[in-house]
Amino acid sequence: MNKFKVTFQPNNKTVEVPKDTTVLSAAISCGVSIKSDCGGDGVCGRCKVVVKKGEVLTQPTGMLNDEERKRNIYLACITTIHSDLEVEVLPESRIDPSSRLKGIYSKSEEIESKEAVSSDKVFKHSPLSTKLYLELPPPNLNDTASDLDRLFRAIRKAQDLPVMQTGLSNIRQLGELLRGCEWKVTVTLGKRNDTVEVVLVEPQDTSNKNFGVCFDIGTTTISGQLVDLNSKKILGTKATYNQQASFGSDVITRIIYARQNEGIEKLHSAVTGTMNLMIKELTVEHKVNLNDLTCVVCTGNTTMIHLLLLVDPTYIRREPYVPTANFLPVLRASEAGIIINPRGLLACVPGVSSYVGGDTTAGVLSSGLYNETDLCILIDIGTNGEIALGNKDFLVACAASAGPAFEGSGVSCGMRASNGAIQKVKISPKDFSVTCSTIGEAKPRGICGSGYIDLIAQMLETGVIDRGGKIKLENHKRVRDSESGKEFVLVFKEDSASSKDIVINEADIENLKRAKAAIYSATAVLVKHMNFMLDDVKKIFIAGGFGTSLDIESAIKIGLLPDLVRSKFVFIGNSALAGARQMLLSAEATKLAEEIARKITYFELSVDSGYMDEYMAALFFPHTDLNRFRPRDK
Amino acid sequence: MNKFKVTFQPNNKTVEVPKDTTVLSAAISCGVSIKSDCGGDGVCGRCKVVVKKGEVLTQPTGMLNDEERKRNIYLACITTIHSDLEVEVLPESRIDPSSRLKGIYSKSEEIESKEAVSSDKVFKHSPLSTKLYLELPPPNLNDTASDLDRLFRAIRKAQDLPVMQTGLSNIRQLGELLRGCEWKVTVTLGKRNDTVEVVLVEPQDTSNKNFGVCFDIGTTTISGQLVDLNSKKILGTKATYNQQASFGSDVITRIIYARQNEGIEKLHSAVTGTMNLMIKELTVEHKVNLNDLTCVVCTGNTTMIHLLLLVDPTYIRREPYVPTANFLPVLRASEAGIIINPRGLLACVPGVSSYVGGDTTAGVLSSGLYNETDLCILIDIGTNGEIALGNKDFLVACAASAGPAFEGSGVSCGMRASNGAIQKVKISPKDFSVTCSTIGEAKPRGICGSGYIDLIAQMLETGVIDRGGKIKLENHKRVRDSESGKEFVLVFKEDSASSKDIVINEADIENLKRAKAAIYSATAVLVKHMNFMLDDVKKIFIAGGFGTSLDIESAIKIGLLPDLVRSKFVFIGNSALAGARQMLLSAEATKLAEEIARKITYFELSVDSGYMDEYMAALFFPHTDLNRFRPRDK
């Protein structure tokens, strides 16, 4: 078998691969991240590379224009290697931590996330791991209890704890450690299911340094938060794209990729790599020592949690759709490759089923939905959208595959809700001039989810687009043809931070329309399935990584959310992350999360005979059935 | 710094060491085992080597005779390296698995050990790890419980168990495994303190293959037993010398050695190396797959357990003599370097104090002493002799450092109680002819502990030695001078399996006298300390690795055991091993062992003002005070 050397720029990484390997595979195998939303099917056109030197074979594609072809640009996923190559990954196809182009920022950014933090107060403060300072009585000839007994005795005297254990590595260092610090030590006590582990024994009083991290691992976006476990204070919140996105934009393509040779290992490394980078940034910025990070709580959809733990997700997508685990024991973070204190713990928010994961559980927990008397609904808008319906008497949930558009991925100028993201848009009905407001009031760099929602609502309102999503405005400097249909220029390059026009094209609009249709139809079908009317719902919790704002009015206008009395809507931001933090901070919340996960009934949309019709009917702005979106008392 | 190459024969191992390194250190660092009872102090004279080539410097010693010096024989511990060397370890100084010379057999040998096995029946059969075969209902669209939930549900249906957990490695393989065997699996459930761990999940029904090993790790001898955990049947029992003996003959020298550079690692490797060899032999001989060995229970004195677990034993010998741990959590055997199933468990019998370890606990358990109404005593004769006094109301114990003589070590023709060991001796009072009986009726190879006891009793009775232990017989072919005082020939080389005379010399007798004095005086002082008379003791359990026999009459005659009514004595063999096996087979026994360990009060002999006097008075055969050993009703 012939082997060829391929060098990737700008990473300057070289790998030797067999003939006929795709350029995308070669890139992945040497750790070069290339965007690919479709998982290598040749349909998303994101994985563009320039072949600088060497021979390749490629397949026909409509994703490249003539100019690109002239410049020797290829789609990495459908192009195979037939000689030694030198390849440059195009800026817009790069997804590595240092790239800062076209709205893709792998370096995580500080975000200010609006969340249902108020309910934190409800739960008794008892973090997953606590530190306890002890001054042990030194042994003497009349008190010769062993070091370990002495330590356990002192812990039990201070706290009434269930079964207690510790690891051999702690025992090994105990004799020297206790004597070196004159019997003054701080123990870190970790809750491992119904037992308590002495996770760490440290010399002297370090009890004021106890930190935890919580993560919401989304298919597209990973959000993380550094928390002071003593004060419950959130020190910092970050979000970044999940580096797994190189391997496909949704959970299904990831599951398929996991079956490939070393696929699961690569997906695992991608997610833990992203998380470890965030941890490092958070701890450096907030001057926290990694060793003082004693626990992590993760939530995410079931596939994300499987990949995090390197557990085969194959059976999630095979009938009868059974995951390997919804409830996971508390593990050591290092077992999952998460870099905190080497003995620190990792808990995962329990999931419900293959397609309703711990993120839903966490959302139901932090929103307080589980405790409501009235009928409520939680709509978590994400790549894998989840909708939970119920109250304190029942809980039912379903998943809607919306795609990553609302997270700013898979759309031409999309970006996360971070500095420079256009989050509010106003279009003048007179001259179609555009007024944008960006996060951090920075020069605009791209459009985030809430910006797109606003934008489409404004385009609809001003007649820039029709209800089908086609651009109708003509003969205007902001409208022009593009490879992806017509496009509307929001910000001209003079005013853009990226020095490129910030646009929305018809393909983007189609993308966003499908996303909103998935969420809306899932909501409608779920409510109907339970024999309720949408109007019966008394409270609608809207969750998602939209930063601090989401214009409910715009969301209804485009048909993402049902047209209900406005006062029923509560925007709760990243409710999954908030729930994970509650578990980090309280054993009571952990217990409740377990109860919630057991209580939620999973509803599989695809088995509902009306779902496809609902979805198709929702592929208009706001809907084919305008009676659903009628003027009403607001 | 100059470095020199040293090659050791017959192992043909070479190591490079700095100038001035001792030959013993060099040997140790390349895994060549050389006998050394004194831990390298140059006083035992066991570490003889021939320097075949090269330059060395040595210190004056009385341990070598002229002929040896002529043959270029040196003591490895006091001889330093000054050029490249070729060294041959003398046969009598070898301690490697293949050597079969002069009573040192590192290859473990099958032994038939008399033990208090009857009490096994008392405890409910519930091994440390059990196997359970399950046929899980496969999932379907109406039963989509996750794989892990499904497994736990089936286990809980079969058995009522406390908190249950499992490790990530099991979860990782679960999806594929369950589907590969059509949901028919065998789980291994391990008791880890008050929780239950799903240790293993195996395809199909392997529940009939569940084995465990128990070990008594003595300072000099390690005994191990392979047990079928289903049938409780002992498949095989082995014993061998602890390879740690190269680093010193008693616990104190080992603790000192542990402080040296990598000392503890070497001691740890020596003991686990010995154990792993035994495990391998036992499993090969009894056709047991190592993977079907799911748990190990170890007992031993506190120092041995610390070294096994690589826990620093330093503080055991520093006032106030506190060990790092007496009670150890159930660990994974692999954490201690014990090679069984990689996820198999390791439990250690709980100890009492620095000098009364889990072997005493195990002995008190298996002898049934803890449950006796009358006052009883347990005398465990070993290098670190332990004596426990009490009944169901109280338990007190002390340790007596007897040295390894009764285990056949540190005496010129000593050997373990295995095939060819002289275990019974008869000396004719007329012509001093000797009749020996050996274990396995094999050609005699050496003398084991019970043989030495019999031999000294006979020598005393026939006047070959006096009460001080000096050889008094003169002008007899069996008596001659030696490097170690006079010696008495038991078996002439024509009849010996080693083709060398089997002898006992005055140094040996002195050694044995000190050993018996240590045991006897400890017994006497302990009884007196508790305000009893020796006659108050109603039952005396005699334990130790004496194989199947110990002549109580001889043991009293030499003053090892107190002169009490013969019917009070019960020889129970290796009671520590029996107790470890009981823990392996029963959770009830485990619980009881914990209670016993907590109940035993440690008595430190050295703080008793009368102890030294008692010891000195016992340095005669049988004793200076003959009133204690008077003819009486037997």
- Give the other-Cβ count within 10 Å of B457's Cβ: 23
In this structure, what token pair is assigned to residue B468? 């001080």
pLDDT at A39 over 80: no
CATH architecture of B209-348: 2-Layer Sandwich (3.30)
Name the pairing type of β-strands A184-192 and A129-135. Answer: antiparallel
Q: Which residues of B touch A606 (CB under 8 A)?
A: none
First to last CA, chain A: 70
Q: Which residues of A touch B150 (CB under 8 A)?
A: 322
Q: CA A575, CA A360: separation in Å to the nearest integer?
A: 9
Q: How do residues B358-399 score in pLDDT, each as one tens digit? A: 999 999 999 999 999 999 999 999 998 999 999 999 999 999
- CB–CB of B325 and A149 under 8 A? yes
**Tokens 């168990």, located at residue:** B161
Numbered ranges of CATH 3.10.20.30 in chain B: 3-96
- CB–CB of A149 and B327 under 8 A? yes
Given CB atoms, is B361 within the 8 Å cutoff of chain A? no
Fold of B126-203: Ubiquitin-like (UB roll) (3.10.20)
Kindly identify which residue of chain A lies nearest to residue B192, measuring between CA atoms.
A165
In this structure, what token pair is assigned to residue B285? 């001989």
Q: Which residues of B touch A315 (CB under 8 A)?
A: 147, 175, 179
Rg over CA atoms, chain B: 26
Kindly identify which residue of chain A lies nearest to residue B354, measuring between CA atoms.
A146
**Residue of A144, A171, A323 with shortest CB distance to B353:** A144
Q: Which residues of B touch A607 (CB under 8 A)?
A: 141
> What contacts B38, CB < 8 A, 6 or more positions away?
B44, B46, B77, B248, B249, B253
- CB–CB of B322 and A168 under 8 A? no
Q: Which residues of B touch A356 (CB under 8 A)?
A: none
User: Sign of the C-alpha dihedral, residues A19, A25, A27, A30?
Assistant: negative
Which of B227, B276, B214, B282 lies closest to B590, judged by CA? B214
Q: What confidence tier does A104 reach under pLDDT thresholds 50, 70, 90? A: very low
pLDDT at A98 over 50: no
pLDDT of residue A278: 94
- Does the ipTM surpass 0.90? no
Q: What confidence tier does A632 reach under pLDDT thresholds 50, 70, 90? A: low
Numbered ranges of CATH 3.10.20.880 in chain A: 128-203
Distance of CA A364 to the CA centre of its chain: 17
pLDDT at A100 over 50: no
Given CB atoms, is A67 within the 8 Å cutoff of chain B? no
pLDDT of residue A117: 47
- CB–CB of A146 and B327 under 8 A? yes
> What contacts B58, CB < 8 A, 6 or more positions away?
B74, B75, B78, B79, B80
Largest CA distance in chain B: 97
Q: How do residues B167-189 score in pLDDT, each as one tens digit? A: 999 999 999 999 999 999 999 99
Does an H or E element contain B453, and which? helix B449-461
pLDDT of residue B59: 81
Q: Which residues of A touch B175 (CB under 8 A)?
A: 311-312, 314-315, 324
**Bridge partners, A224 (sequence order):** A215, A238
Q: Which residues of A touch B315 (CB under 8 A)?
A: 147, 175, 179
Q: Prior bond to B10 cis, omega within 30? A: yes
Q: CA A472, CA A205: separation in Å to the nearest integer?
A: 68
Mutation target to probe the A interface, by most A beta carbons within 10 A, among B152, B161, B168 is: B168
Amino acid at the residue B483:
E
Q: Which residues of A617-627 are buried (b: 16+ CB within 10 A; e: fewer)?
A: bbbbbbbeeee
Which of A5, A77, A3 lies closest to A36, judged by CA? A77
pLDDT of residue A547: 64
Q: CA B459, CA B453: separation in Å to the nearest integer?
A: 10
Indicate the CATH number for domain A364-404+513-629: 3.30.420
Question: Do B619 and B514 meet the contact criterion of CB atoms below 8 Å apart?
Answer: yes
What are the Cα distances from residue A562, in Å, to A553, A615, B25, B124?
10, 14, 81, 64
- CB–CB of B172 and A148 under 8 A? no
pLDDT of residue B446: 94
Q: How do residues A378-399 score in pLDDT, each as one tens digit? A: 999 999 899 999 999 999 999 9
pLDDT of residue B113: 52
Q: CA A52, CA A83: separation in Å to the nearest integer?
A: 12
Q: What confidence tier does B102 reach under pLDDT thresholds 50, 70, 90? A: very low
Given CB atoms, is A156 within the 8 Å cutoff of chain B? no
Q: Which residues of B touch A196 (CB under 8 A)?
A: none
Kindly identify which residue of chain B lies nearest to residue A169, measuring between CA atoms.
B311
- CB–CB of A144 and B326 under 8 A? no
Phi and psi (nearest 5°) for A196? -115, 135
Kindly identify which residue of chain B lies nearest to residue A607, measuring between CA atoms.
B141
Q: How do residues B486-524 score in pLDDT, each as one tens digit? A: 999 999 999 999 889 999 999 999 999 999 999 999 999
Q: Which residues of B120-156 are buried (b: 16+ CB within 10 A; e: fewer)?
A: beebeeebbbbbbebebeebeeeebbbbbbbbbebbe
Q: CA B472, CA B487: separation in Å to the nearest integer?
A: 10
Question: Do A383 and A219 meet the contact criterion of CB atoms below 8 Å apart?
Answer: yes
Mutation target to probe the B interface, by most B beta carbons within 10 A, among A174, A317, A322 is: A322
**Bridge partners, A331 (sequence order):** A346
Instruction: Name the least confident of A211-215, B59-63, B96-100, B373-377.
Output: B96-100
Q: CA A431, CA A452: separation in Å to the nearest integer?
A: 20
Distance of CA A479 to the CA centre of its chain: 33
pLDDT of residue A40: 64
**Bridge partners, B80 (sequence order):** B22, B57
- CB–CB of B146 and A328 under 8 A? no
Look over chain B and give the mean of its residue pLDDT values, rounded to a whole number.
90
Which of B42, B22, B41 lies closest to B32, judged by CA? B22
Q: Where are the alpha helices (DSSP H) in B530-586?
A: 552-557, 575-585
What are the Cα distances from residue A210, in Å, to A130, A132, B116, B343?
7, 10, 52, 32
Kindly identify which residue of chain B lies nearest to residue A302, measuring between CA atoms.
B146
Q: Which residues of B touch A325 (CB under 8 A)?
A: 146-149, 171, 174
pLDDT of residue A95: 59
Phi and psi (nearest 5°) for B474? -130, 160
Numbered ranges of CATH 3.10.20.880 in chain B: 126-203
In this structure, what token pair is assigned to residue B380? 């465990």
Q: How do residues A332-358 score in pLDDT, each as one tens digit? A: 999 999 999 999 999 999 999 999 999
The top-level CATH class assigned to A3-94 is: alpha beta
> What contacts A287, CB < 8 A, 6 or more positions away?
none
Does an H or E element contain A486, and which? strand A485-491
The top-level CATH class assigned to B367-404+513-629 is: alpha beta
Q: What percent of chain A has pLDDT over 90?
A: 75
pLDDT of residue B154: 96
Given CB atoms, is B193 within the 8 Å cutoff of chain A? yes
Q: What confidence tier does B32 reach under pLDDT thresholds 50, 70, 90? A: confident
Angle at alpha carbon of residue A442, lines to A439 and A446, rounded to 5°: 70
- Give the other-Cβ count within 10 Å of A442's Cβ: 12
Look over chain A and give the mean of its residue pLDDT values, rounded to a whole number.
90
Q: How do residues A445-455 score in pLDDT, each as one tens digit? A: 999 999 999 99
Torsion of CA B487, B491, B493, B494, to 10 degrees: 150
Given CB atoms, is A315 within the 8 Å cutoff of chain B? yes
Q: How do residues B129-146 score in pLDDT, each as one tens digit? A: 999 999 999 999 889 999
Q: What confidence tier does B95 reach under pLDDT thresholds 50, 70, 90? A: low
**Bridge partners, B474 (sequence order):** none
Tally C-beta pairs within 8 A across A and B. Answer: 147
Given CB atoms, is A180 within the 8 Å cutoff of chain B? no
Q: How many residues does chain B have?
A: 634
Given CB atoms, is B319 within the 8 Å cutoff of chain A? yes
pLDDT of residue B96: 41
Q: How do residues A359-368 score in pLDDT, each as one tens digit? A: 999 999 999 9
Question: Rounded mean pLDDT of A403-408?
Answer: 91
Alpha carbons within 13 angstroms on the beta-carbon side of residue B124 total: 6
- CB–CB of B325 and A144 under 8 A? no
List A residues 69-98 in contact with B (Cβ-Cβ < 8 A): none
How far apart are the CA of A377 and the nearest CA of chain B, in angstroms? 24
Q: CA A544, CA A475: separation in Å to the nearest integer?
A: 37
In this structure, what token pair is assigned to residue A304? 């994300």
Is B107 exposed, middle or buried (CB count within 10 Å of its CB: 0-12, 13-18, 19+)? middle
Instruction: Name the least confident of A64-73, A499-508, B188-197.
Output: A64-73
pLDDT of residue B570: 92
Kindly identify which residue of chain A lies nearest to residue B179, measuring between CA atoms.
A315
Q: Which residues of A touch B309 (CB under 8 A)?
A: 168, 171-172
**Bridge partners, A489 (sequence order):** A503
pLDDT of residue B114: 52
The top-level CATH class assigned to A210-348 is: alpha beta
- CB–CB of A311 and B335 under 8 A? no
pLDDT of residue B575: 94
pLDDT at A64 over 90: no
| Reported pTM | 0.84
In this structure, what token pair is assigned to residue A462? 């001003």
Question: Do B223 and B281 meet the contact criterion of CB atoms below 8 Å apart?
Answer: no
pLDDT at A519 over 70: yes
Given CB atoms, is B492 within the 8 Å cutoff of chain A? no
List B residues 283-312 in contact with A (Cβ-Cβ < 8 A): 309-312
Kindly identify which residue of chain B lies nearest to residue A172, measuring between CA atoms.
B311
pLDDT at A108 over 80: no
The top-level CATH class assigned to A128-203 is: alpha beta
- CB–CB of B144 and A335 under 8 A? no
Q: What percent of chain A has pLDDT over 70?
A: 93
Question: Rounded mean pLDDT of A301-326?
Answer: 96
Question: Rounded mean pLDDT of A410-418?
Answer: 90
Q: How do residues A27-37 score in pLDDT, each as one tens digit? A: 866 767 777 66
- CB–CB of B174 and A314 under 8 A? no
Q: Which residues of B touch A166 (CB under 8 A)?
A: 329
pLDDT of residue B416: 87
pLDDT of residue B19: 83
Question: Rounded mean pLDDT of A230-245?
Answer: 93
**Residue of B171, B175, B326 with shortest CB distance to A149:** B326
3-state secondary structure of A163: coil
Instruction: Name the least confident of A136-140, A220-224, A471-475, B546-550.
Output: B546-550
Given CB atoms, is A161 within the 8 Å cutoff of chain B? no
> Which CATH superfamily, name and number, covers B3-96?
Beta-grasp domain (3.10.20.30)
How far apart are the CA of B443 and the nearest CA of chain A, in angstroms? 47
Q: How do residues B209-228 score in pLDDT, each as one tens digit? A: 999 999 999 999 999 999 99
**Residue of B148, B163, B607 with shortest CB distance to A195:** B163
Given CB atoms, is B533 within the 8 Å cutoff of chain A? no
Q: Prior bond to A622 cis, omega within 30? A: yes
**Residue of B165, B314, B320 with shortest CB distance to A193:** B165
Mutation target to probe the B interface, by most B beta carbons within 10 A, among A140, A142, A156, A172 is: A172
Instruction: Name the least confident of A246-250, A441-445, B516-520.
Output: A246-250
Q: What confidence tier does B205 reach under pLDDT thresholds 50, 70, 90? A: very high
The percent helix, strand, coil of chain A (3-state, each to 5) is 35, 30, 40
pLDDT of residue A32: 74
> What contacts B301, CB < 8 A, 6 or more positions away?
B218, B219, B251, B351, B355, B356, B357, B358, B359, B384, B386, B399
Kindly identify which residue of chain A lies nearest to residue B140, measuring between CA atoms.
A320
Q: CA B113, CA B367: separation in Å to the nearest integer?
A: 15
Q: How do residues B262-283 score in pLDDT, each as one tens digit? A: 899 999 999 999 999 999 999 9
What are the Cα distances from residue B151, in Å, to A308, B209, B305?
22, 20, 36
Given CB atoms, is A254 within the 8 Å cutoff of chain B? no
Numbered ranges of CATH 3.30.420.480 in chain A: 210-348
List B residues 87-146 in contact with A (Cβ-Cβ < 8 A): 139-141, 143-146
